[in-house]
């Protein structure tokens, strides 16, 4: 009886904080916080042998980028440079002066929210060698994606006064339709200079 009156001795909770800290530090060390990020791309669907071949694309509508095994660039049959690739690609798609060497434009089309717009018929074709390094491949991809992103930004700025990724869903859909990202990758082959 006397025991229950006194009650159970209180457990000292002073070290509770230490235990919790220990656990906390354990979790901090064993877990990773890194956010995965990267360049999103979509692969072309597998070729169906029964399907008729798509009509060939006019040479002037193709912006070819070749990367050989020495990580050198050939842009539109001229030795290219990674630093100028972005501007060249933008010029190709935009073609402000209707240069016959650059991409053709489709007939003006009425697009929602934007109005009449001439979509470019240009396609970027990226081809690499089996010996190309991944680093340069990603840098080329990055420049091409950046070129399209800047073009979209420009159009978004003109029509909506905001950057592309600040647009709402309908607006960004319209801009995407006006400037579709046309980057095609052909199957790799040994372009030359390859170490077999």
Partner 1 sequence: MAKFGRKGKGGTPAISTASLPDIVFMLLFFFMVTTVMREVSMKVKISPPEATEVKKLEKKSLVSYIYIGPPIKALINVYGTEPRIQLNDAYAGVEDLGEYIIAEREARDEKEVPFMTTSLKVDKETKMGIISDVKQKLRDLNALKINYSTKKGIKPQ
Contacts with partner 1 by CB under 8 A lie at: 13-14, 16-17, 19-21, 23-24, 27-28, 30-33, 35-46, 69, 82-83, 128-135, 137-139, 141-142, 145-146, 149, 187-188
Question: Given the complex with partner 1, which of 69 and 117 has the nearer CB atom?
Answer: 69
Question: Given the complex with partner 1, which of 11 and 110 has the nearer CB atom?
Answer: 11
Please provide the distance, in angstroms rounded to a whole number, between the alpha carbons at the two ends of the chain: 92
Separation between Cα atoms, residue 171 and residue 111, nearest integer Å = 10
Nearest to 133 by CA among 183, 79, 72, 82: 72
The distance of closest approach from Cβ of residue 18 to partner 1 in the complex, given in angstroms and rounded to an integer, is 9
Q: Would you say the C-alpha torsion 149, 142, 191, 55 has a positive or negative sign?
A: negative
The distance of closest approach from Cβ of residue 156 to partner 1 in the complex, given in angstroms and rounded to an integer, is 16
Question: Given the complex with partner 1, which of 19 and 157 has the nearer CB atom?
Answer: 19
The distance of closest approach from Cβ of residue 136 to partner 1 in the complex, given in angstroms and rounded to an integer, is 9
The distance of closest approach from Cβ of residue 32 to partner 1 in the complex, given in angstroms and rounded to an integer, is 6
Question: Given the complex with partner 1, which of 104 and 185 has the nearer CB atom?
Answer: 185
The residue to which tokens 């457990």 are assigned: 11
Phi-psi bin for 184: left (phi > 0), alpha (psi -120 to 50), beta? beta
Question: Given the complex with partner 1, which of 58 and 130 has the nearer CB atom?
Answer: 130
Query: Residue 76: which residues within 8 A CB-CB, separation 6 or more?
Result: 63, 64, 88, 92
Task: Confirm if 102 and 162 have CB atoms less than 8 A apart.
Answer: no
Task: Confirm if 94 and 152 have CB atoms less than 8 A apart.
Answer: no
The distance of closest approach from Cβ of residue 115 to partner 1 in the complex, given in angstroms and rounded to an integer, is 28
């Amino acid at each position: 009886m006397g025991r229950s009156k006194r009650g159970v001795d209180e457990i000292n909770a002073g070290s509770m904080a230490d235990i919790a800290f220990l656990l906390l530090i354990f979790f901090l060390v064993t877990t990773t916080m890194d956010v995965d990020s990267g360049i999103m791309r979509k692969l072309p669907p597998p070729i169906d042998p029964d399907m008729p071949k798509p009509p060939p694309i006019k040479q002037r509508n193709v912006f070819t980028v070749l990367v050989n095994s020495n990580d050198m660039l050939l842009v539109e049959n001229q030795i290219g440079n990674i630093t100028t690739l972005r501007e060249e690609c933008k010029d190709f798609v935009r073609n402000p002066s209707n240069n016959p060497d650059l991409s053709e434009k489709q007939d003006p089309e009425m697009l929602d929210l934007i109005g009449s717009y001439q979509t470019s018929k240009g396609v970027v074709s990226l081809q690499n060698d089996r010996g190309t390094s991944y680093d340069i491949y990603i840098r080329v991809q990055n420049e091409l994606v950046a070129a399209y992103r800047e073009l979209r930004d420009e159009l978004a700025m003109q029509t909506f006064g905001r950057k592309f990724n600040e647009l709402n869903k309908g607006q960004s859909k319209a801009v995407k339709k006006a400037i579709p990202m046309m980057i095609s990758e052909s199957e790799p082959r040994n372009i030359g200079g390859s170490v077999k």
